[in-house]
Structure 1
Amino acid sequence: MRFEQRMFARLKFLEKLAELSENAFENFFQDLMCALYPDFVDVRTHGNLGDLGADGLTLHDRQLYACYAPSTFDASAIELKFKSDLQKAINKRSGQFDTFVFVHNDMRGTHPEIAAMLAEAQRAHKPLNIEIMGRRRLWQKIMKLDLAEVEDLLGCPIPITDSIYGIGMEDLEPLLDHLKTATVSPDPLHRIPQVSEEKLDYNELDGDSRESLVKAMKSTHLIDEYYDLRIMEIQRKEVAEGFRIYYQQVREAWTAAEDILWQLEMYVLGNMRHDPRTHRAAQVILAYFFERCDIFEQPPADWRPSTTSGDAT
């Protein structure tokens, strides 16, 4: 899909998610997972057996999924259902799964009480893994589908239009705002690690693109500070996974490094023109996920740059 198609599909997904609750949300989730994974087993309620604490299982990854999508949020009710489903799954499906995934429809993210409940469950049931899947991870799953599958899942055509989108990934908007107000200027004491230099060479990033990334790398510490101060490790991982998925899709459609970087910049900013501060902030975000190896390819251990590779500034 083109960038504009992805943004249109994302808007339709968010509209649909806002309307889905209870069985409708569960059916949507099962349709999505069945389209993605041949080994996904969608578990339906059956008579007195119920669903034995599961709405779905992936046989290869050994993950069990349980959906929580009430029409009206009630932390106490969700906690009771979660504990009941988890205990039923442990008692009735012992040996079938290693990870219990809490799938929810809360557009605002995970409620603090629910997050605390999940953390406590993780401590109480080691070595079982407890994970969360909300709108960000659901959208990341949808991004892996082809156009026809997305249209079928969302129930609408995804047109090719020249619409203008101001922000490509609204989950990054708070980070962009933070970087714009911070002093996004090169730190003269910050040295670019050798691995980044080699990665720039390996991916044939040179000229203005290389210069912009190298300059931005000297401000990436601001992003670590942003996530660390807010204790947002889950969101950092979700954003990183989104970048990985989007990069893989872009790489299939574009071959030149500058074109790939341009597409990734639209993923952050949309396709609207922005002021210089916003553009610099976006470059810092791209440099950060470049350094973390979430975007672009890592050179093999035995790879060495040719003598014609561009020099970093």
Structure 2
Amino acid sequence: MLDTKLDSLHGQAFEEFFLDLMCMRDPGFFDIRTRGRLGDRGADGLMISGRKLFACYGPQTIDEGEVRRKIEKDLESALRQRPDAFDTFAFVHSDRRGLDPVVSSALTDAQKSFPDLGFENFGFRRIHREILQLDRLEIEELLGPFPARKVVTGVALHDVRPLLEHLARERKPQFGLPPVPVPSHRKMEFNEFSPDVMTYMTAAMAYVPCVETYYTNAFDPTERDDVAAGFREHYLELAERHDHSDQILEELVLHILGNEAKGITETLNAMVVLMYFFGECDIFKMPLASPPVVPEPRTLA
């Protein structure tokens, strides 16, 4: 639903959508809609409590030079007209058609010019996470009525689609791969997974290096942390509703793939993604640290 909605929003319509969303999310958010000759005075929205200024951009086509000029213009205007109103500049965009890496690169350059300011890339993943905090009626007010169908697309699919495509190309048969490290097995046992699920997790964990390679070479340096935060947040919600780790893991797979029947390969790739974040300590409980082994004192004969 969100993909479809954002595909239809450009320019002022995208800005209005974002302002409506943030007004629902936080009473401390102030939308600054253009007022005649005064304009918006360098901001589309302000978060007073967090001293954060938001600038929106919803282009129909991508032009890297135009993106950079837009960021520079909005930042210059905000610093000139609202210098004491913010400590963080958040650039909001729909992340459609590959815009996210362009914004990340431009904000990195802006950070070098203004080291005392914080900068945030507020794209699809952030918009999606904010929407998940709303209740059903608010979501329908923003996106329209939920479709009356049983098949649901995985809500995290957008975040990990490039990673899943990478795994589909690069993941090889596991013959000769190194064994799963002992700490991962300890964590499985600590979370009380069933033997069958542990076997499946172990098979998927052998391919985790493919995920590590993907994130090491990712163009967007924030991609890994943003995806991890999304999974962590959803895991904590599931942990409050379910007592058994097997069920939580199953729900996390559905979070990626949706409840439509998938092939074995797609399901395994989704599990590989989860095992990466499992090993990185982003999801599921960590076992208690083992106490140090103190050697027995030696006795003289």
> 197, 201, 211: which one pairs with 2:199?
211
Instruction: Name the SS of the counterpart of 2:282 in structure 1.
Output: coil
- 1:1-313 matched pairs, under 5 angstroms: 12-110=1-99, 114-154=103-143, 156-159=144-147, 161-163=149-151, 165=153, 169-181=157-169, 182-185=171-174, 188-192=177-181, 194=183, 196-299=184-287
Aligned counterparts of 2:102 and 2:267: Cα–Cα separation in 1: 37
Q: Is the 8 A contact 2:100 2:123 kept in 1?
A: no
Deviations 1:128-148 (A, max 9, x none): 122212222211211222211
- TM-score by structure 1 length? 0.81
1:125 Cα deviation after fit: 0.7
Q: Is the 8 A contact 1:99 1:130 kept in 2?
A: yes
Say which one has the larger Rg. 2
Q: Is the 8 A contact 2:101 2:220 kept in 1?
A: no
Q: Is the 8 A contact 1:186 1:219 kept in 2?
A: no
1:39 Cα deviation after fit: 1.6
Instruction: Name the SS of the counterpart of 1:297 in structure 2.
Output: coil
Select between 157-166 and 30-39 the one with higher mean Cα deviation: 157-166
Alignment gaps of 5+ in structure 2? 292-301
Alignment CA distance shift 1:45-1:289 (3 Å): same
Aligned counterparts of 1:293 and 1:29: Cα–Cα separation in 2: 32
Letter in 2 for 1:284: V
Letter in 2 for 1:242: G
Alignment CA distance shift 1:300-1:142 (3 Å): farther
Partner of 2:294: none
Aligned counterparts of 1:89 and 1:288: Cα–Cα separation in 2: 40
Alignment CA distance shift 1:45-1:179 (3 Å): same
Partner of 1:9: none
1:189 Cα deviation after fit: 3.4
Alignment CA distance shift 1:205-1:122 (3 Å): same
Q: Is the 8 A contact 2:103 2:121 kept in 1?
A: no
Select between 48-57 and 145-154 the one with higher mean Cα deviation: 48-57
Q: Is the 8 A contact 2:87 2:118 kept in 1?
A: yes
Q: Is the 8 A contact 1:187 1:218 kept in 2?
A: no
Alignment CA distance shift 1:63-1:74 (3 Å): same
Aligned counterparts of 2:290 and 2:86: Cα–Cα separation in 1: 38
Alignment CA distance shift 1:301-1:91 (3 Å): farther
- TM-score by structure 2 length? 0.83
Letter in 1 for 2:215: Y
Select between 136-145 and 268-277 the one with higher mean Cα deviation: 268-277
Alignment CA distance shift 1:68-1:116 (3 Å): same
Deviations 1:174-195 (A, max 9, x none): 322332342152765355253x
Letter in 1 for 2:230: G
Instruction: Name the SS of the counterpart of 1:151 in structure 2.
Output: helix
Number of matched pairs: 290
1:68 Cα deviation after fit: 1.0
Q: Is the 8 A contact 1:98 1:129 kept in 2?
A: yes
Alignment gaps of 5+ in structure 1? 1-11, 304-313
Aligned counterparts of 2:287 and 2:26: Cα–Cα separation in 1: 30
Aligned counterparts of 1:55 and 1:41: Cα–Cα separation in 2: 9
Instruction: Name the SS of the counterpart of 1:233 in structure 2.
Output: coil
Cα RMSD (Å) of the superposition? 2.8
Aligned counterparts of 1:263 and 1:241: Cα–Cα separation in 2: 17
Q: Which has the higher relative contact order, 1 or 2, with Cα contacts under 8 A spaced 6 or more apart?
A: 1
Partner of 2:297: none
